Structure 1
Amino acid sequence: MARLRTSQRTYALTAALIMGSSTLGTSGCFWGIVGQGPSLGIAGLPIPISPYLQEKEEDKYWQHERYDRVPILGPITSGGAPIALDTPSDDEVMRALEKARPVEGGIPLLWERNRNDVRIIKEKIADYVDPVRVYPMIGPAQQHHAHYKCTIYYEDVRRVGWPVPHTLRDEDAREVVYIDHNHLHMVGDVDGGTGI
C-alpha cells in the first residue's frame, strides 16, 4: 500500500467535507438552505432574549395600548355640559408615579426601597371642551380636556444592609401626580351621509 501524500490527503478531506455539507443541506434538517417549502433561513433559529428586555417591551406595549392613544367619540349631545367620565385608573397613576420617581431596582441585602400601604385620591381640577377645528385624517372635531390631580399617600421603606443593617420608614410620604385625559368629539355629519 502506498502512502498518500499530504496534498492528496488534503484533497480527500476537502472533498469529503463538501460532500457532507451538501448532503446535510439537502436533508431538510438544516437551516432550510435547500429544503422543501418556505423557510426563514438562519432567522428560523431561536434567539434568547433577556427577561429585562422582554418586560420592558411588554410594558411599552401596555402603555401604548391603554394610555397613549386619543379616542374619537361621537358628537356632543345638546342639553347639558359635556362631562368627562373616565377618571385615571390606579395602574395609570402608579405608572405616572414610577416615571416621575422610580423605585424599582436596588441591590438586595445592600440597599432596597419599597412603597407600602398605597392610597390614591383623585380630584378633577378642570373639564372643558375646545372650539371646533379640523384635524388631519379625522375632520372637524372638538377636543375634550379633563385634568386630574392624583395624590398618592404611602409608607416609604428603605432597607440599608451595609455597613450596619437598618431600616428607615417614612409613614407619611406623599406624592402628587397630574394626569391629563384628552379625547375628541366628532362634529357634523359623522355618518358620512349625502343628505339626499
Structure 2
Amino acid sequence: MTTPIRPTATQAILGLLAAVTALSSVGCVGITTGPTLGIFSIPIPVSPYYQKKAEDDFRWKERYERVPILGPTTHGTTPVALDPPSDDEVIRAFEKANPVAGGVPLLYERQRNNVRIIKEKITDYIDPPRFYPLIGPAQLHHAHYKCTIYYSQRDIAGYPVPHSLDDEEAVETLYIDHNHFHMVGDVEPYQTPTL
C-alpha cells in the first residue's frame, strides 16, 4: 500500500498564488503588461436612454436647427416657400414641448393614439437684402406655419386603484418657423486662385 503525497505548506501557498494569478488575469481585469487605466478600464453599463437622447439631439440639430442658404431669387417673381414642416418635425417639436413621461408598466403609462396633423401657412415674406457675417449679401425668407395636432390620449394608472383616463378630443397647436437665406447678386462659386 502506498501513502499519498501531501504537499508542503510552501507548495500549497505557491499553488494558491498561481491559481489566483491565473483567474485574475482573464479578460479586462487583472495583471497585464503595459500601461492600464486602472479602475477606469472596467466597463460601466449605461442606460440606452442616454444613447437615444444623444442620437435624437443630433438628428434634431442636423435636420431642423440649421438655416439653409439657397440660390438667388428670380427677378420679377415673388419667392414662395415650398417646404412645409414634415410630420416628423411636428411630432418632434410636440414631444419637446409636451414630453411623455417614460412611465412604469402596470403602474403608470400615457399613450397618444389616432394622431392627425393639419398644417397651415400663416405668413410667407422675404426681407430686403442686407449683409450677413459669414454669408455675405443675402435675403432672409420667412415662412411661418400653424400646426394643429388632433389626438386621443389615454392615461393608465395601475396603483393603488387601477383605472384609465381617456381624452378622445385632445388638441395641441404649435407654431413652426421655416427660415432660410437667398443669396443676392451674381453668385459665383469660390475658386482657388492659381499662382
Q: Which TM-score bucket, shorter chain as reference?
A: 0.7 to 0.9
Shift of 1:78: 1.6
The question of whether the paired residues in 2 share the 8 Å contact of 1:115 and 1:154 is answered with yes
Moved over 2 A (4+): 29-33, 41-50
Q: Distance in 1 between matches of 2:72 and 2:156?
A: 53
User: Identity percentage over the alignment?
Assistant: 64
Counterpart residue number, 1:131: 128
- The 3 A distance-change label for structure 1 pair 67 and 189 is same
Q: Hey, what's the Cα distance between the residues in 1 that align with 2:148 and 2:83? A: 17
Aligned to 2:13: none
Matches within 5 A, 1:104-183: 104-183=101-180
Partner in structure 2 of residue 64 of structure 1? 61
Gaps of 5+ in 1: 1-19, 34-40
Question: Number of aligned pairs?
Answer: 165
- Quote the RMSD (CA, aligned, Å): 2.8
Q: CA deviation at 1:160?
A: 1.1
Q: Choose which of 167, 170, 185 in structure 2 pairs with 1:188.
A: 185
TM-score for both structures, normalised by structure 2 = 0.75
Shift of 1:162: 1.5
Structure 2: which 5+ residue stretches go unaligned? 1-20, 26-30, 191-195
Q: TM-score normalized by structure 1?
A: 0.75
- What CA distance in whole angstroms lies between the structure 2 residues aligned with 1:31 and 1:100? 52
Q: How many Å separate the matches in 2 of 1:31 and 1:188?
A: 65
SS at match of 2:61: helix
3-state SS, counterpart of residue 99 of structure 1 = helix
